[in-house]
Structure 1
Amino acid sequence: PKVAEFIKVGDSILIDDGEVGLKITEKIDKYTFLAKVFKPGIIKSKKSVSFPDTEIELSVFENKKNKDLLKFIVQEDIDYVAVSFVQSMLHVLEIKEFVEKLGGDQWIMSKIEHRSALRNLKEIVKVSDSIMVARGDLGVEIGLDKLPVIQKKIVDFCIRYMKPVYIATQFLPSLMEKPYPTRAEVSDIANAIIDGADGIILTNETAVGKYPVEAVKLAKKVVINSVKLVYSKPLADRYIDTTNKIVAEHACHIANKIENSIIVAETETGFTAINITRFKPKRSVVVITNNKRIARNTNILWSVKKVLIDESVINKIVHEEKLRELLKLSDKTVVYVGSPILKGKTTMINILQI
């Protein structure tokens, strides 16, 4: 009900990612309005409702169900919390604080889908663990003509601040009804990857579409072909402005130059793994950590093929024998990256033959 306090005459209400549109024409009382339909359509159940012209300043926990949902997430040991309609860094920090009080350490994925989030993008990216560009509501909020440029800017921000970023919504809408895509849809997937996104998220195509398996197979093929261009021009090279980034970039460069090599990232916090994967290495990345949450969460990072959990390795220089035992590999050059002393840093490269 408190949302109504912020709505004004002249504001728009958009339903189902803009499929239905109304304009407020009169405010009868605190919670009652008259609206004129300017975009008619069928209003289906459980569809989104957005107010692109309205600045809504409410706590994340204004909806009491959010606390119950977060309690469930922590109790069930779910890895990520995807937060809808983030408008400022305070929304993210509210959730992080609540999760920590519950004893959780879940990573927060902030969904960028509101105009306010774009104004506060830098702060939101810095305090989030990862970002989702939720193009459905975002396109409704800012207009489809602006969406491609805004998407690229968000991805670029995430590359700069070393945060994984994923693009969601309407990649293959044709596969809702037929088993083949348009050329524009295929190009959309490719461009998201070439721009530097860590991955794409299919939504209605797999949730309610007629060809969910075909959609996943096709998207995978397009991504695999698109990464070849990414390898030729890593975008993170533009933002090598810290010692951590310099070490990570050199590790990727060394591994890319050595045939039959892999990168091993030792990490307690996930920082080194994220740091390495920002540079989109050609070689597979193996993450070694003693933190089960980090082990699971880093599985979705770029080039990460295997995650190992080993208490004895953390904060120690790894020797060839130990790596051979852990990786169960032979005749490989290992570019080992980590920080034997400083937690949350990337300070060491060690090249080993196993």
Structure 2
Amino acid sequence: MPRPRLNEARTKIVATVGPACDSVSKLAELIEEGVDVFRINSAHGTIEQHAEKLANIREASALTGFPVGVLLDLAGPKIRLGQLVSEPMFCPLGEYLTFVRGTVSTRPMEVTSSYPRLIDELKIGDRVMLADGTVALEVENVTVDNAVCRIVASGEIRSRQGINLPGVKLSVSAMLRTDIENAIWAAQNEIDFISLSFVRTPEDVRSLKDLLNSYECSALVIAKIEKPEALDNLERIVMEADGVMVARGDLGVEIDVAETPVAQKRIIATCKQFMKPVIVATQMLESMHHSSRPTRAEASDVANAVLDGADACMLSGETAIGEYPRQSVEMMNRIMRKTEERALPAATASQGVIDPANRMTHAVARAGMEVAEAIGSKLIAIATHSGGTAWVKSNTRSLIPTVAVSDHLASVRRMNLFWGIEPMFCEHIEDTQHLIEHVTRWAKDQIEEDGTLVMPGDTIVVVSGSDVIANANNVISVHTIG
């Protein structure tokens, strides 16, 4: 059965595009298995390569008939090692590793970095983490040309691996030149979501929004929380952003790894408070890089993200470079569905902060959910142009299946990130009756497959936003299936 389908997870799936899945046929497979948004990681590849991925995604979307969303992930000021003398280089415990200026090291136990001012900004006592935190250093001496570090946790390092500096205040800009170029390309190519890495302040988010506004781009800006400074400014960042990503890879290196689970819960709770979508990312099904099944701990990790209230979970290397991209998506969908069916309450309506300008939309969307709950409706149908009414319904966390119909394709793609919302494109919605007929035909197709969605005599609650149907001004109506 083509998507949207109401027998799939309400929590959305974001999948990273890479060599393991970047063909049109593979992308179409992943869409059919449940991918709602594809992520293009701008840290790998050129704009030309990003454009090729985007073209393949759009073709796969047309092939499946499902308007999948696209997220461009800006690399941000990620500091990386330069070219090493030997590959890999082992760092023995208690020995010394020296950062020198330049881009290429010439002697063993000397390294360079992609950040020219690194030596200037390091201080004695600072911690330096390499290879995703497996190798740890402590700065013991800093001169004009080098910084000598003692190795306090041993391991192997390789060229171009990331450098994390927990607690070190850097003056690097939130967006590098390549990030600006990628953001402009995204704005010119109707990308739906743009995420900003290593956000530290709400001003970082505002700078990206201002850039996109100058190109009349309506993409949603997703702030990635992966720095201690971001946790210090969490509420202000969440208020400024259109959505948030819990980027646990770098966050788990920048802060004590033991604090990461609590930080994740805090970030999700803050996003719920301010009614912003939140994505949980990194190592969710990590073992499925090379295994067709996840570990029990990974299955629990996905389930706990759902229980915490995440709107979406993200697959990174599992789909980009893993051996089992399709199985990874299918498994994440299964875990989410079982968790939602057996562990989520019937409704956990959010008591978030409501924008005064949107009080009517909030009131009508919540009222529609309450009517549907009260009369036992099998389906809620929402007509929306911008997706705003659907987002309010998403925040009610009602388990009643919900389809959101829009005449604006970009809004349909953005709604792919909204929890519990199945988006549907309809080129022209004439009136409420036309909407009901459109949704009923779709619902009957669902019946033919498994007979479990709606039957004659069941009710559908229809919420019509004032920005879609003329003279509808936020109408709630109840329709009985004939």
TM-score higher than 0.5: yes
Structure number with the bigger relative contact order (C-alpha 8 A, sep ≥ 6) is 2
List aligned pairs for 1:15-164, cutoff 5 A.
Answer: 15-29=130-144, 32-61=146-175, 63-164=176-277
**TM-score after normalising by structure 1:** 0.87
Q: Distance in 2 between matches of 1:320 and 1:83?
A: 42
Aligned with residue 337 of structure 1, among 463, 468, 475: 463
Indicate the larger mover: 290-299 or 195-204: 290-299
**TM-score after normalising by structure 2:** 0.65
Residue in structure 2 matched with residue 227 of structure 1 by the alignment? 340
Give, in angstroms, the shift of residue 238 of structure 1: 4.4
Aligned with residue 249 of structure 1, among 337, 342, 366: 366
Percent identity, aligned pairs only, is: 28
Q: Distance in 1 between matches of 2:349 and 2:118?
A: 40
Describe the SS at the equivalent of 1:145: helix
Give, in angstroms, the shift of residue 130 of structure 1: 1.2
Report the residue type matching 1:28 in the other structure: T
The 1:71–1:194 alpha-carbon spacing in structure 2 relative to 1, beyond 3 Å, is same
Describe the SS at the equivalent of 1:157: helix
Larger Rg: 2
List per-residue Cα deviations over 1:90-120 (Å, max 9, x = no partner).
1111001111112322111111111111111
Give, in angstroms, the shift of residue 233 of structure 1: 5.2
Give, in angstroms, the shift of residue 217 of structure 1: 2.0
Give, in angstroms, the shift of residue 149 of structure 1: 1.2
Report the residue type matching 2:371 in the other structure: I
Aligned with residue 311 of structure 2, among 198, 202, 225: 198
Q: Distance in 2 between matches of 1:131 and 1:212?
A: 24
Aligned with residue 292 of structure 1, among 386, 409, 420: 409
Report the residue type matching 1:8 in the other structure: K
RMSD: 2.6
Q: Distance in 2 between matches of 1:177 and 1:311?
A: 46
Q: Distance in 1 between matches of 2:117 and 2:462?
A: 53
Give, in angstroms, the shift of residue 221 of structure 1: 0.9
Q: Distance in 2 between matches of 1:265 and 1:64?
A: 41
Describe the SS at the equivalent of 2:396: coil
Indicate the larger mover: 322-331 or 283-292: 322-331
**1:230 and 1:280 in contact (8 A); partners too:** no
Indicate the larger mover: 332-341 or 212-221: 332-341
List per-residue Cα deviations over 1:308-331 (Å, max 9, x = no partner).
244555xxxx42244314663465
Q: Distance in 1 between matches of 2:343 and 2:362?
A: 18
**1:19 and 1:39 in contact (8 A); partners too:** yes
Give, in angstroms, the shift of residue 148 of structure 1: 1.1
Give, in angstroms, the shift of residue 168 of structure 1: 0.6
5+ residue gaps, structure 1, are none
Tell me the number of residue pairs that the alignment of Structure 1 and Structure 2 aligns.
Answer: 344
The 1:19–1:309 alpha-carbon spacing in structure 2 relative to 1, beyond 3 Å, is farther
Q: Distance in 2 between matches of 1:229 and 1:245?
A: 28
Aligned with residue 278 of structure 1, among 370, 392, 395: 395
Q: Distance in 2 between matches of 1:224 and 1:60?
A: 37
